[in-house]
């Protein structure tokens, strides 16, 4: 199986145009023989870049509230038309796709955005939507917490099992253990787009899990942000008014199950970051270490994963 990260510029806060970008990259991936494709964290909808660049924690600040309101409007529902188009494209092109989504609740939680990693099977459509368990640092001002419903590993093309986590979830030992225990062969780690995040963890994930680790990151510049976003000028002022400044520089990369680089982090370049998966290498590296197999001790150490989807209320009309 050929795997790839689509390292690309998003159309920030514009889900319709970003959907066009995503389907174009799926088409390009299929033409390159890619069967598993991953996009960066919240690629569809956009990463909340301003929380690290402005006084995002100011209480009841009008500008911050307007920024959030616009961000919420650009988030998408899982049942919305954007994902329907992407599912159709993935099905047509036979590409299993992991897509980072800024998800807005439908029905319940319509005023909340969650960082969600959607897995799209080329036959079955959306097979999981993993909401980030714990937003990182300033992200907690913008995103709601998730649950364990999406901690699932899927049968991918060619019988290769694939799973994924959002950004710093890849540093959570028990979250990683849950994915390894699901039988991963390929671990997808999605990031907003900074090589400082992908450089170290990708190789460690691969070596610890004895898996192929695919880190997918985005490129985000101020030029990608609509001019009417309330905090764009304030952020630009930090960089001398440079609207082309690259806030997130990518860093997509791939490591093999021995922890060695197959593709080192790619910085500042739009491209497919590709590698071919050799199942025999996975099996060979598990000869001396299998974290959820012969090197586990379930009689001593136990992990329980709760995968029920959590909502504010469960209505029982019976």
User: 254 lies in a domain?
Assistant: yes
Catalytic residues: 41, 132, 167
Q: The tokens of 238 are what?
A: 């930090």
User: Is position 35 within any domain?
Assistant: yes
Task: Give me the mean pLDDT over the 308-318 stretch.
Answer: 87
Domain-embedded: residue 128: yes
Whole-prediction pTM: 0.96
On whether residue 291 sits in a domain, the answer given is: no
- Look at residue 311 and tell me if it is in a domain: no
The number of domains in the chain is 1
Strand partners, 120: 97, 126
In a domain, residue 168? The reply is yes
Which tokens hold the place of 149? 């419903």
Q: What is the pLDDT of residues 271-300, one digit of tens each?
A: 999 999 999 999 999 999 999 999 999 999
pLDDT in tens, 15-70: 999 999 999 999 999 999 999 999 999 999 999 999 999 999 999 999 999 999 99
CB 194 within 8 A of CB 252: no
Q: Is residue 95 part of a domain?
A: yes
Within 8 A by CB and 6+ apart from 39, the residues are 5, 6, 8, 22, 25, 97, 98, 99, 100, 190, 216, 218
SS3 at position 279: helix
CATH classification at residue 14 = 3.60.110.10
What residue numbers bound the domain in which 120 lies? Answer: 2-285
Tell me, yes or no, whether 120 lies in a domain: yes
- The percentage of the chain sitting over the pLDDT mark of 70, rounded to a whole number, equals 100
Strands (E), the chain: 2-7, 36-38, 96-104, 113-121, 125-131, 154-155, 161-166, 186-190, 212-216, 219-221, 246-255, 261-267, 271-276
pLDDT of amino acid 313: 87
Give the Cα separation of 257 and 185 in Å (integer): 9
């Amino acid at each position: 199986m050929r795997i790839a990260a689509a390292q690309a510029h998003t159309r920030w806060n514009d889900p319709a145009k970003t959907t066009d970008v995503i389907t174009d990259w799926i088409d390009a991936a299929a033409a390159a023989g890619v069967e598993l494709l991953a996009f960066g964290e919240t690629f569809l909808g956009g990463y909340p870049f301003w929380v690290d660049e402005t006084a995002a924690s100011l209480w009841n600040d009008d500008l911050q509230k307007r920024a959030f309101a616009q961000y919420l409007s650009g988030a998408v529902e899982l049942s919305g038309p954007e994902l329907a188009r992407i599912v159709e494209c993935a099905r047509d092109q036979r590409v299993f796709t992991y897509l980072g989504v800024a998800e807005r609740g439908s029905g319940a939680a319509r005023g909340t955005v969650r960082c969600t990693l959607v897995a799209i099977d080329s036959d079955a459509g959306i097979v999981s939507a993993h909401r980030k368990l714990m937003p990182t640092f300033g992200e907690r001002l913008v995103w709601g917490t998730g649950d364990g419903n999406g901690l699932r590993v899927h049968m991918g093309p060619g019988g290769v099992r694939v799973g994924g986590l959002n950004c710093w979830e890849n540093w959570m030992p028990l979250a990683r253990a849950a994915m390894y225990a699901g039988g991963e062969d390929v671990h997808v780690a999605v990031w907003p787009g900074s090589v400082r995040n992908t450089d170290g963890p990708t190789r460690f994930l691969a070596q610890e899990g004895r898996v192929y680790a695919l880190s997918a990151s985005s490129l985000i510049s101020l030029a990608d942000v609509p001019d009417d976003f309330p905090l764009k000028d304030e952020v630009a002022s930090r960089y001398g008014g440079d609207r082309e400044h690259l806030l997130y520089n990518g860093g997509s990369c791939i490591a093999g199950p021995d922890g060695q680089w197959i593709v080192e982090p790619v910085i500042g370049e739009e491209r497919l970051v590709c590698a071919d998966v050799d199942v025999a290498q996975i099996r060979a590296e598990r000869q001396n270490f299998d974290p959820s197999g012969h090197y586990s001790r379930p009689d001593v150490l136990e992990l329980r994963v709760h995968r029920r989807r959590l909502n504010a209320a469960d209505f029982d009309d019976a």
